RNA sequence: GGUAGGGUGGCCGAGCGGUUUAAGGCGACAGUCUUGAAAACUGUUGUACCAGAAAUGGUACCGUGAGUUCGAAUCUCACCCCUACCGCCA
């Protein structure tokens, strides 16, 4: 959520900034109105309580009783005012950065740079499903019978490929030498502290989910809920990596703190019924390697650059052509200050498709999570949080299959993955 | 799931209806002393919110939520978590 003082003191600027994210000015006014009502009531209650405390100390029992009655009435009103204020509050997304392109939707995202040349084939390239089916490594029919649409069995060399990618990422992000080279590209001497490898929980409590700003009104539809235990299945490792430091202060000298987590992601994909139904591009369940990092506010933009540089490094190692895209205000996530996507070239579809995203959330999440940093002088402030994809395994396997396919329907394994996968070719 | 014992400040630990404004200790920070350090001594030492330009004042917080009371860390109820043992399980 946004800093309430910022909204109170600069309502017009906030309105202007949020308008870029398609938020009507009335939404800001609503919060201000609810906030005033809440403040009036809390003031009233605290004054009464002060009075009551005084009378109690003096053992003026009869007078205290009268004040207590009044207090009870005032207190009864508060919860509703608080709920209304909160609802208006969490509805406001984060303010977008100055360098974020203003736009209404996906079509106005701005490609920043391209890397790699799409391979030229002397035959008509197939899409990943056709290839995967023929190779016997992707089976959506059986999965349809067993689990329904948007599920798949990955088999044989597809599994070897996935395991290889996981090991490759963990080896890279845990290796300070490699990170140092990447960090120096961002800024000479920038922190090359390795990522801590994590296998996070894949279920999360509703209140923590909300504090991550991932279960706000409108988002419930996208989540799988386990009714008996009142737990949600995570939609990304981010959801349980982000709260690792909730309700605590991290000493300045321990930052940045970086995690790379591997987990399955569960998404209902409600409202995307007709989209990407072919193959394994959009699934109810897929595995993903996710980076999450906590930094000082003054370093968070640099950290995002570092993270994007890592994403690009990983793609370059796989030698898959891609473009880096600055996501526009209308298409970016609510908690985002700046969102940068990477789109991999898919030869079978003859276009770039989103495979990575990098979100700088500034203090938007850490405010509700109460994840703070403690400065050397003892002062505390909110940490900044970055979240980004290392590899979405389903989609990167698609990219490998389509870009590395051969005329005979076999697929060459990218060089860096061969020693991990133990195979050179899928045939 | 069952039984038993627990959850108090950065940590340990006392308190079990009103001088609690949470004792005492450890740690941390500052000062005195010292060439420097240690020791000793002295002092400081949480978070959030509300009002205020600020100084400051107020409110809340002893696992969480509700309740009893003029007054709750302290009493009641429910729940959560931890530890041990039993059951079940990979």
Q: Is the pLDDT of residue A189 over 90?
A: yes
pLDDT of residue A55: 87
Q: Which residues pair with A26 in a beta bridge?
A: none
* DSSP states of A197-255: EE---SEE-HHHHHHTTSSSTTTGGGS-EETTTTEEE-SSTHHHHGGGGTTEEEEGGG-
SS3 A143: helix
A375 — pLDDT class (breaks 50, 70, 90):
confident
Gap from A38 CA to B66 C1', in Å? 23
Which nucleotide has the shortest C1'-to-CA distance from A381? B47
Instruction: Please give the Cα distance from A308 to A311 (Å, whole number).
Output: 5
DSSP label at residue A411: E
Average pLDDT for residues A277-306, to the nearest whole number? Answer: 93
Instruction: Please give the Cα distance from A356 to A420 (Å, whole number).
Output: 22
Cα Rg of chain A, angstroms: 25
Task: Give the CA distances from residue A238 to residues A199, A291, A324, in Å, rounded to whole numbers and listed in that order.
Answer: 11, 8, 21
Quick one: which residue's CA is nearest to B70's C1'? A61
Q: Is A353 left (phi over 0), alpha (psi -120 to 50) or beta?
A: beta
pLDDT of residue A274: 72
At the top level of CATH, which class does the domain A106-426 belong to? alpha beta
pLDDT of residue A122: 92
* Chain B: bases < 7 Å from a protein Cβ: 18, 47-51, 58-60, 70-71
Each residue's pLDDT tens digit, A317-329:
999 999 999 999 9
Q: Is the pLDDT of residue A231 over 90?
A: no
pLDDT of residue A144: 92
Q: Is the pLDDT of residue A381 over 90?
A: no
Which nucleotide has the shortest C1'-to-CA distance from A63? B70
Chain centre to alpha carbon of residue A11: 27
Gap from A135 CA to B61 C1', in Å? 62
Gap from A230 CA to B73 C1', in Å? 31
Instruction: Please give the Cα distance from A361 to A124 (Å, whole number).
Output: 42
pLDDT of residue A377: 73
Average pLDDT for residues A336-344, to the nearest whole number? Answer: 96
ipTM over 0.95: no
User: And the tokens for A343?
Assistant: 């789109």
Residues above pLDDT 70, as percent of chain A: 100
Instruction: Please give the Cα distance from A302 to A368 (Å, whole number).
Output: 23
pLDDT of residue A346: 94
Q: Hey, what CATH topology would domain A4-90 get?
A: Helix Hairpins (1.10.287)
User: And the tokens for A411?
Assistant: 């697929």
A54 — pLDDT class (breaks 50, 70, 90):
confident
What residues contact A100, with CB distance under 8 A and at least 6 apart? A20, A326, A327, A328, A329, A332, A338, A339
Mean pLDDT rounded to a whole number for chain A: 92
Each residue's pLDDT tens digit, A136-156:
999 999 999 999 989 999 999
User: And the tokens for A110?
Assistant: 């701005």
Instruction: Please give the Cα distance from A359 to A337 (Å, whole number).
Output: 7
What is the pTM for the complete model shown?
Answer: 0.92
A229 — pLDDT class (breaks 50, 70, 90):
confident
Matching fold, domains A4-90 and A106-426: no
Domain edges within chain A: 4-90, 106-426
Residue A387 CB-density burial (10 A; 0-12 exposed, 13-18 middle, 19+ buried): buried
SS3 A106: helix
Instruction: Please give the Cα distance from A110 to A170 (Å, whole number).
Output: 31
Each residue's pLDDT tens digit, A95-115:
999 999 999 999 999 999 999
Average pLDDT for residues A263-270, to the nearest whole number? Answer: 91
């Amino acid at each position: 959520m946004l800093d309430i003082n910022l909204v109170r003191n600069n309502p017009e600027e906030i309105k202007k900034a949020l308008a870029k994210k398609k938020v009507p000015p009335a939404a800001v006014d609503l919060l201000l109105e609810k906030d005033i009502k809440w403040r009036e009531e809390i003031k009233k209650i605290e004054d009464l309580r002060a009075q009551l405390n005084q009378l109690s100390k003096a053992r003026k029992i009869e007078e205290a009783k009268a004040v207590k009655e009044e207090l009870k009435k005032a207190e009864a009103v508060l919860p509703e005012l608080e709920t209304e204020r909160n609802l208006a509050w969490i509805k406001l997304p984060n303010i977008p950065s100055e360098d974020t392109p203003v736009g209404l939707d996906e079509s106005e995202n701005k490609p920043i740079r391209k890397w790699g040349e799409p391979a030229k084939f002397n035959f008509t390239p197939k899409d990943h499903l056709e290839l995967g089916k023929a190779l016997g490594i992707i089976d959506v029919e059986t999965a349809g019978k067993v689990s329904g649409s948007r599920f798949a069995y990955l088999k044989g060399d597809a599994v070897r490929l996935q395991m290889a990618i996981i090991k490759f990422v963990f080896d890279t992000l845990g290796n300070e030498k490699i990170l140092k080279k990447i960090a120096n590209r961002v800024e000479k001497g920038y922190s090359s502290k390795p990522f801590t490898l994590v296998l996070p929980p894949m279920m999360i409590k509703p209140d923590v989910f909300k504090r991550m700003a991932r279960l706000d009104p409108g988002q419930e539809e996208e989540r799988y809920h386990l009714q008996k235990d009142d737990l949600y299945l995570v939609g990304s490792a981010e959801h349980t990596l982000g709260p690792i430091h909730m309700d605590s202060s991290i000493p300045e000298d321990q930052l940045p703190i970086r995690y790379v987590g591997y987990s399955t992601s569960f998404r209902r994909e409600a409202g995307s019924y007709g989209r990407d139904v072919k193959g394994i591009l959009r699934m109810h369940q897929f595995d993903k390697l996710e980076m999450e990092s906590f930094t000082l506010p003054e370093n968070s933009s640099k950290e995002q650059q570092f993270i994007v540089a890592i994403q690009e490094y990983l793609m370059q190692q796989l030698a898959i052509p891609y473009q880096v895209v600055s996501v526009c205000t209308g298409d970016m996530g609510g908690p985002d200050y700046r969102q940068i996507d990477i789109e991999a070239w898919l030869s079978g579809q003859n276009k770039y498709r989103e495979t990575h995203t990098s979100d700088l959330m500034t203090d938007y999440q850490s405010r509700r999570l109460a994840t703070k940093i403690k400065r050397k002088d003892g002062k505390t402030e909110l940490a900044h949080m970055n979240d980004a994809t290392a590899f979405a395994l389903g989609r990167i396997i698609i990219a490998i299959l389509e870009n590395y396919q051969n005329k005979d329907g076999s697929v060459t394994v990218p060089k860096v993955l061969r020693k991990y996968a133990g195979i050179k070719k899928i045939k």
